[in-house]
Amino acid sequence: MSLRNERVRKALMREISDIIFREIKDPQICGMVSITDVDVSPDNSAARVFYSVYGNEEVKEKTSKALERHVGQIRHEVGKRIRLRKTPSLLFILDESMERGAKMIELINKIERGEV
């Protein structure tokens, strides 16, 4: 990944997180949403935005649908905040790696205590 792509990736993470937190006033975005990573295409035309949501499956589903509804608004705000030749299209992907990690730690702790 080039230095430019890395700077774009970091700027997108920061700005998308801020936009969701401050600009999007949707009650369907229920849980605490964290942008965990952004994968930018080499030409900066597309970005996959990985996010995690604190909450149960219903909260995650509502948040996912709300982000899909607001993707145009988020992209528009990103375009105003970050000066790029072309604002990348955004694809939001739920990242459950933090939950999997927490489950693994819980299992390891159970094994250490002899519960499994």
CB contact at 8 A, 9 and 40:
yes
pLDDT digits (tens, 9 = 90+) for 21-48: 988 888 888 668 899 999 999 998 999 9
Question: What is the model's pLDDT at position 77?
Answer: 95
- CA-CA distance, 84 to 94, in Å (whole number)? 26
pLDDT digits (tens, 9 = 90+) for 40-84: 999 989 999 999 998 888 888 999 999 999 999 999 999 999 988
Q: Tell me the CA distances in angstroms from 113 to 45, 102, 103, one per residue in order.
A: 50, 17, 15
Better-predicted residue by pLDDT, 101 or 67: 67
CATH number of the CATH domain containing 7? 3.30.300.20
Q: How confident is the model at residue 14 (pLDDT cuts 50, 70, 90)?
A: very high
Helices within the chain (DSSP H only): 3-22, 57-69, 71-81, 97-113
- Tell me which residue range forms the domain holding 88: 3-113
**Look-up: residue for tokens 């030749």?**
85
Fill in the DSSP letter of residue 116: -
Q: How many domains does the chain have?
A: 1
Q: How confident is the model at residue 1 (pLDDT cuts 50, 70, 90)?
A: low
